[in-house]
Amino acid sequence: MNYKQFYQQSLEAPESFWKTQAEKLDWFRFPETILSKDENGLYRWYKGGRLNTSYLALDHHVANGRGDQAALIYDSPVTHTKKTYTYSELLDEVSRFAAVLQSKGVQKGDTVVIYLPMIPQAAIAMLACARLGAVHSVVFGGFAPHELAIRIDDAKPKALVTASGGMEIKRVIDYMKIVNAALNESKHQPDTVIVFQREFIQAPMKKGRDFDWQEEMSKADPVSYTEVEATDPLYILYTSGTTGTPKGVVRDNGGHAVAMRFSMEYVYGVKPGEVFWAASDVGWVVGHSYIVYAPLIYGCTTVLYEGKPIKTPDAGVFWRVMEEHNVSVMFTAPTAFRAIKKEDPEGKLKAPYDTSRLRYLFLAGERCDVNTLEWAGELLKVPVIDHWWQTESGWPMLSNMTGVELLPIKPGSAAKPVCGFNIQMLDPDGNEVGPNSEGAVAIKLPLAPGCLPNLWNDTPRFIKSYLSPFPGYYFTGDGGYKDEDGYVFITGRIDDIINVAGHRLSTAEMEEIVASHQAVAECAVIGIADELKGQIPVGFVVLKAGIDSSMGEAIQAELIQMVRQTIGPVASFKTVVIVDRLPKTRSGKILRKIMRHIADGKAFKPPSTIEDMSVLGELEQIMSDEKVGIGTK
């Protein structure tokens, strides 16, 4: 199949294109209208269609001969547990937990907050909500009580599903302590809290409110699915880093199901029955789309992994999982491979494992530096596909569509637009810019199926945030450019472009140069305030394991020279700081904006998603000691 022709079909005749894709699903009633607008003038897909996402992910496959196929493989190196569920077994678990929720009063249209670690019960709870037509909102396990509380107040759940605790490498997190603190703070109180008790920590139960998962399941009889409208909401997912009023991304049932199936076949190039592994968390959009929904809707086996890329037990664990579970296609964040590379720069820990079944490695979620992409490709001997999407889109907007045509890989680019996404680079006045000219990344409306149709109970904010900046377009918030071949390069959030003495420069480009140094494990380049030039770039670098610390000054000088040679003196790149670690979200994104605030001496609120608060204090001290930013004020 030809990518160019396939992609053009999706833009020139979107309704017939997405009708053809919808016909591949098992609808209860096929949509009356493929594309329409609602009362707010917002685009909606598949109005009049009726379906059930849990049915598509489970019942359909059992009825069509996949009952004995593995649906979900749970692999937990932190608890030394492995368990496989066939499609029939998973259907039984989901149907019975749907009955438990139903017995507590949860009905179609009600909301349920899910606050669970990476255990099968997270996927079971999500699918059980979908089965009833209830709207789930998964909150990342380990979020602080305040962040959980504001999400509870916004979603107003009928029930909350949690566990007694989670395990972070060797540290136990008391989930019920967090839940109780959140419920003490929140105005809204769910009627029911269902608790999955784990062996390593038992949670105290509040009589009348709290119910034991295992006890309730032992009494439950399976319930059937509820038909829902294609335009009914499937879930709410609050964007990471939310402060103040949460921004709840809504996903519908119909467009989502079509997009999930389409992406498995045409983007990830996987086949039904194969093993797909997204090494992420169900608390993030990747976990929703590619641990739970897409693999199951498509008839694959999905891996649910409770562990880290390193220290559970070492930097070879990913290779062990690939071999043991026969993974065909993997998807994770670049930061996972940077962590592995830092611990095992030569990839020696891969030697004992056979990963020959792996066909593709997909990376997304954080800018992928060329060095990491090439390192992973050389180690695994497969194409490494850098692709780009957002919580809001729910699935890839830029990617090498491996199920259509494997295009040449250009390191640094997330390749070309995925079908249905008319991606343009716009200047501040909304005009398209030419090849190799940087602009705001915007997508001509309508968006493809599966993207957010709105925000939860906040249409004005949806319009203001996404549709108002460039009328007729969805504004992504990112900057980038297209080259002469149509490949798109995402250079980062718009505020990652700095102005040095009137020159607009990309910190992402500088990061690429710094990351290419053989001693650098990972890095961040930020722009800080400067009285003379407006802004100047500063690099923060983590060195690979085994690099002699006495080499620090020489490495700093080499990095400064590399940027000077590639970009020129105009970059004013004169400062490199070597640090032990960078501040990150739990999903691996480097908190560059927070770093800028620290350097510029601005007040900031640490985001709820930060992995480790102590690193911020370390950075503030380092910046002061090194006369960076705050030390020069």
**Residue 66 domain flag:** yes
Closest CA to 521 of 507, 506, 511, 530: 511
| 329 is a domain residue | no
- Per the structure, the count of domains in the chain is 2
In-domain check, residue 314: no
Same domain flag for 521 and 619:
yes
Cβ distance 426 to 473 under 8 Å? yes
pTM score, whole prediction: 0.85
Establish if 201 belongs to a structural domain: yes
- 59 token code pair: 């019942």
Confidence of residue 608 (pLDDT cuts 50, 70, 90): confident
In a domain, 472, yes or no: no
Give me the amino acid identity at 506: S
Residues 439 and 240 sit within 8 Å (Cβ to Cβ):
no
Predicted confidence (pLDDT) per residue in 302-314, tens digit: 999 999 999 999 9
Pair 403, 552 in one domain: no
Mean pLDDT of the chain: 93
Neighbours of 103 (CB within 10 A): 14
pLDDT of the residue at 508: 79
User: By the 8 A CB rule, do 276 and 326 touch?
Assistant: no
Nearest to 30 by CA among 43, 42, 18, 13: 18
**Spatial distance between the Cα atoms of 413 and 432, rounded to a whole number of angstroms:** 19
Categorize the per-residue pLDDT at 557 as very low, low, confident or very high, splitting at 50, 70 and 90: very high
Helix (H, G, I), strand (E, B) or coil at 167: strand
524 and 628 fall within a common domain: yes
Does 153 fall in a domain? yes
pLDDT digits 0-9 by tens, 151-192: 999 999 999 999 999 998 889 999 999 999 999 999 999 999
- Averaged pLDDT for residues 114-126: 98
**SS3 of 524, please?**
strand
Determine the structural domain holding residue 399 and report its residue range. 3-307+387-420
Q: What pLDDT is recorded for position 27?
A: 98
pLDDT of residue 633: 37
Q: Each residue of 461-511: pLDDT tens digit?
A: 999 999 999 999 999 999 999 999 999 999 877 766 676 765 657 787 788
Domain end residue (candidates: 379, 396, 420): 420
Q: Do 87 and 58 touch, CB atoms closer than 8 A? A: yes
pLDDT confidence band for 632 (50 / 70 / 90): very low
Query: pLDDT of 54-95, one tens digit each?
Result: 999 999 999 999 999 999 999 999 999 999 999 999 999 999
| pLDDT above 70: percentage of residues in the chain | 97
Residues 405 and 505 occupy one common structural domain: no
| Residue 575 belongs to domain with CATH number | 3.30.300.30
pLDDT tens readout for residues 413-458: 999 999 999 999 999 899 999 999 989 999 999 999 999 999 999 9
- The answer to whether residues 406 and 540 belong to one domain is no
Q: Give the pair of three-digit tokens for residue 534.
A: 């407006």
In a domain, residue 342? The reply is no
Q: Among 404, 420, 436, which residue terminates a domain?
A: 420
- What's the Cα-to-Cα distance from 488 to each of 11, 81, 335, 480, rounded to whole Å? 17, 42, 21, 7
pLDDT, residue 631, reads 41
Higher-scoring residue by pLDDT: 605, 332 = 332
Q: What angle do CA 568, 569, 574 make, to 5 degrees?
A: 115
Q: Are residues 271 and 391 in the same domain?
A: yes
Domain harbouring 247, CATH code: 3.40.50.12780
Same domain, 412 and 506: no
Over range 285-290, report the average pLDDT.
Answer: 96
